[in-house]
Amino acid sequence: MDSIAVLLKIDGERVAGALQEVREKLDGAQGEIVLDFSSVRRVDPHALRALEDLAGSADGKAVKVVLRGVNVDIYKVLKLAQLASRFSFLT
Q: Is 89 in the site for another protein (CB under 8 A)?
A: no
Q: Is 64 in the site for another protein (CB under 8 A)?
A: no
Which 3 state secondary structure label does DSSP give 69?
Answer: coil
The span from the CA of 32 to the CA of 39, in Å, is: 21
Strands in 63-68's sheet, in edge-to-edge order, are 5-9, 31-36, 63-68, 88-90
Out of 18, 35, 58, 77, which residue is the one contacting another protein (CB under 8 A)? 77
Residues 6 or more apart in contact with residue 41 via CB below 8 angstroms: 12, 71
Q: Is 76 in the site for another protein (CB under 8 A)?
A: yes
Please give the helix or strand (H or E) that residue 56 lies within, else none.
helix 45-61
Out of 43, 54, 65, 70, which residue is the one contacting another protein (CB under 8 A)? 43
Give 6 or 81: the residue with its C-beta nearer to another protein: 81
> In the range 11-30, which residues lie near another protein by CB under 8 A?
none
**By the criterion CB under 8 A, which residues form the site for another protein?**
42-46, 48-49, 73-74, 76-82
